[in-house]
Amino acid sequence: METPVLEHKRLNGRTQVTFVLPEDTPDGPVSVVGDFNHWNPCAHPLQARGDGTRTVTVALPANSGHSFRYLAAGGYWFNDDTADGQQGSNSRIHT
């Protein structure tokens, strides 16, 4: 699988984090789930962009840390190798 990408942008005391995955890796729908959305797989599904990627942007408080993972079709959970770190089975991001 190609490597996911995380993009950060500061805006008015918050950090917009964009989660980016290749359009077809893995196949089917993918959501980002984490402590910021109460691990709800319906809250932040990634959407296709014209450049061959899928993305979703989440606004998080600045200077905070969050655990997250990706959930793909068929109950396939995976982490983000570009995250700021790992904690147990979760990826970590620091805003």
Domain annotation for the chain: domains and CATH numbers: 5-88 (2.60.40.10)
pLDDT in tens, the chain (95 residues): 556 778 878 888 899 999 999 888 898 999 999 999 999 999 999 999 999 999 999 999 999 999 999 999 999 999 998 899 999 999 999 99
Pick the closest to residue 41 from 2, 78, 72 (CA basis).
72
Report how far Cα 15 is from the mean position of its chain's Cα atoms.
Answer: 13
Report the C-alpha gap between 71 and 30 in whole angstroms: 6
Q: In one letter, which amino acid is 13? A: G
Identify whether the C-beta of residue 2 lies closer than 8 Å to the C-beta of residue 22. Answer: yes
Report the C-alpha gap between 90 and 47 in whole angstroms: 22
Identify whether the C-beta of residue 65 lies closer than 8 Å to the C-beta of residue 88. Answer: no
Prediction pTM value: 0.89
